[in-house]
Amino acid sequence: MTVKRIEMALHVQQLCAENGIMVTYQSLNDRVPRYYAQPASKLICIRPTKNTGYYVSALHELGHILGNRQSPTFSTLTRELHAWIWAKKNALVWTDTAERIMRSAMDSYGWQQRQKDIWERVTS
């Protein structure tokens, strides 16, 4: 299934509007992406949705607000994993690029076989 960039961008905007989430956009001129979510204030900072990578990263930030296991009582690793699970379950499309971005992000948090097994079980 082919999903156009505009469909991805509108999907992110729709999810934000339906859930009262405010969005700030980081300039594409910035060299380093600075995605983040502030669940308490229902705010995400993302880059404009110009490709699949930016799209799934935006969904991941939404997952920090709308996903399971996002309270501070859970470890950072658990919160990150479940934000990615939310992203995949809610994505219009999940490509090899999306999977690579998720795995790279989770590698940076030091995920182990236990978390990888959860990912496979929940998202397959």
Extents of the domains making up the chain: 5-123
Instruction: Provide the b/e sequence for 64-84 (b: ≥16 CB within 10 Å).
Output: bbbbeebeeeeeeebbbbbbb
What sections of 20-95 are H helices per DSSP?
52-66, 76-90
Q: 46, exposed or middle or buried, with CB in 10 Å at 0-12, 13-18, 19+?
A: buried
In CATH, what number does 5-123 get? Answer: 3.30.2010
**Looking at the predicted structure, is the pLDDT value of residue 1 above 80?**
no
What pLDDT digit, counting tens, does each position of 10-32 carry?
A: 999 999 999 999 999 999 999 99
DSSP 94: -
Residues 28 and 46: their CA atoms lie apart, in Å, by 10
pLDDT at 46: 98
Tallying the residues shown for the chain, one arrives at 124
Q: What percent of the chain is modeled with pLDDT above 90? A: 96
pTM for the whole structure? 0.96
The runs of H, that is alpha helices, within 5-112 are 5-18, 52-66, 76-90, 96-108
Q: How confident is the model at residue 106 (pLDDT cuts 50, 70, 90)?
A: very high
CB 53 within 8 A of CB 98: yes
